[in-house]
Structure 1
Amino acid sequence: MNLKEAKILITGGNSGIGKATAKLLKDKGAEVIIAGRNKETLEGTAKELELGYIQADVTQEEEVVRMVEQAASRMNGLNVLINNAGYGYVANLVDIEPQKLRDQLDTNIVGAALCARECAKIFVDQDYGNIINIGSTSSLKGSPTASPYVATKFALRGMTESWRNELRPHNIRVMQVNPSEVMTSFSDNRVDNNKKEKQYTAAEQETKLRGEEIAHTIASLLSMDDRGFITEATVFATNPKV
């Protein structure tokens, strides 16, 4: 698609991957609205990047409906959803707390489905649209202590494949981006039952992915001519120091 014709809603757009993506796509000429539930950081990012925002909690159906309606109204259309809202709850199997697991499922899975559902209504009606779900390398493999988070990302990948097959006849491209560790996203949005969390040195952090690398991936996926699309992109740091 021509990014200058893109009208984009980014959930979880107030920080990390969402913020970096909003900045890059706006710089490339797209019209962008960010959404999130933290009003303070949302307002700060919107002011910094000079773009619109909508406060919404993706776990609340009525708020998602309002968010999508407002985004489409403000931009006089909508043709891209970047489904980025989410966080990581990690714990050893013997320490999993059911409510924390349910809360994460509500955001990472139910929230993603609600956002896609409401945008898909518009996309099907106009016979065109793009959905990019932000997954993780945890969509592809299990990891010790991370089963709650991994479960949500495996589920997201399954939904992505299902929506892709369902929506292709309507010229809707459904894609997924799987970042490995990104210093500005998962590491800042993590609920951890484990006693110690790895602290990276400045030198180690320099070798990790940033939100900007994921933003460039998203822009590349969207920029492909509409006659084709890349279904899934997995992004690794070239030579991370652990």
Structure 2
Amino acid sequence: MKLENVRALITGGGTGIGKETARLLVEGGAKVVITGRRKDVLEEAAREVGAIPVVLDVRSEDEVRNGVSQAVEKLGGLNVLVNNAGFGNFGPLLELDVQDFREVMETNVFGAMLMAKEAARHFVEHGGGNIINVSSTAGSRGFAGGTAYTASKFALGAMTECWRAELRKHEVRVMQVNPSEVLTDFGKTAGYEQKQSEKKLRPLEIAHAIKSMLEMDDRGFITELTVFATNPD
């Protein structure tokens, strides 16, 4: 599709991958709504990249419903959802806290489902659309200390396949992008320090991948795209 025809809603749009994706899409002529929970961060990002801010918590069914409705109104339609909101709690099994596990699943799995449900309802009623789920290489292989986060990303991949099977007949393209480690604020919020390196992926590389997926002619689509750093330290 042509970027000037894009009417996109990007969750987790105040920082990192969501923010850079919004920037690239807006630069290409798209109209974009970004969402997040922190109003100050969201509004600053929106001013910087030229997007429209809508504060919402993807874990709340009412807020999701109202947020998608606002996006449709503010954009004059909606044909793209980028399910980017997510976070992780990390630690070994013997120290795993059930509430920490539940919080990860509520955002990364239930939140993604709620957003997709509301967006897909609009897409089906209006002749088609695009859902891009931002997952992780952790959605295809586990690692020590990653129980909650990895489980959430495996679940997101399974949901992506189910939605694709259900929605293709309605001209809805359901896609997934799997970044390896990206230098963002994710590590800080997850409680661990990322090793800094100029060779690691930046949010910009993932934003380029998402943009490329959208730009393919509507007669086809990239089901899944995995992005690795060429030679990380």
TM category (shorter chain) comes to: over 0.9
**1:144, 1:79 → 2: CA distance?**
38
Partner of 1:200: 195
Equivalent residue number for residue 85 of structure 2: 85
CA distance in 2, matches of 1:198, 1:93: 20
Moved over 4 A (4+): none
| 1:235 corresponds to | 227
Equivalent pairs, count: 233
Q: CA deviation at 1:189?
A: 3.4
Partner deviation per Cα, 1:210-232 (whole Å, 9 max, x = no partner) = 00000000000000000000100
SS in 1 for 2:161: helix
| Secondary structure of the corresponding residue to residue 94 of structure 1 | helix
Q: Which residue of 1 aligns with 2:180?
A: 180
Give how far 1:134 is off: 0.2
Instruction: List gaps (5 residues or longer) in structure 1.
Output: none
Q: How does 1:1-242 map to 2 (within 5 A)?
A: 1-190=1-190, 192=191, 197-201=192-196, 205-241=197-233
- SS of the aligned residue for 2:8 comes to strand
Shift in CA distance, 199/20, structure 1 to aligned 2, threshold 3 Å: closer
The separation in 1 between residues aligned to 2:100 and 2:193, in whole angstroms, is 21
Contact 1:17 1:185 in 2 (8 A): no
Supply the distance in 1 between the matched residues of 2:40 and 2:70 (Cα, whole angstroms). 20
User: Against the structure 1 CA distance between its residues 68 and 138, is the aligned structure 2 distance closer, same or farther, given a 3 Å change threshold?
Assistant: same
Query: CA offset at residue 49 of structure 1?
Result: 1.6
Q: Which moved more, 1:40-49 or 1:27-36?
A: 40-49
Shift of 1:184: 1.2
Per mean C-alpha deviation after superposition, the further-off stretch among 47-56 and 163-172 is 47-56
Rounded Cα–Cα distance in structure 2 between residues aligned with 1:44 and 1:61: 25
Maintained 8 Å contact 1:137/1:178: yes
**5+ long unaligned stretches in structure 2:** none
Q: Percent identity?
A: 52
Per the TM alignment, residue 50 of structure 1 is displaced from its structure 2 partner at its CA by 2.4
Q: Deviation at 1:198?
A: 4.7
- Cα distance in 1 for residues equivalent to 2:198 and 2:43: 28
3-state SS of 1:9 partner: strand
Inter-CA distance 156–185: structure 2 relative to 1 (3 Å threshold): farther
State the shift of 1:140 in Å: 0.6
Cα RMSD for the two superposed structures: 1.0
Question: CA–CA distance in 1 between the matches of 2:14 and 2:189?
Answer: 12
What is the TM-score when the length of structure 1 is the normalising length? 0.94
TM-score, normalising length: structure 2: 0.98
Q: Matched residues in 2 for 1:9 and 1:51: separation?
A: 10
8 A contact 1:42–1:55 mirrored in 2: yes
How far off its partner does 1:199 sit?
Answer: 4.8
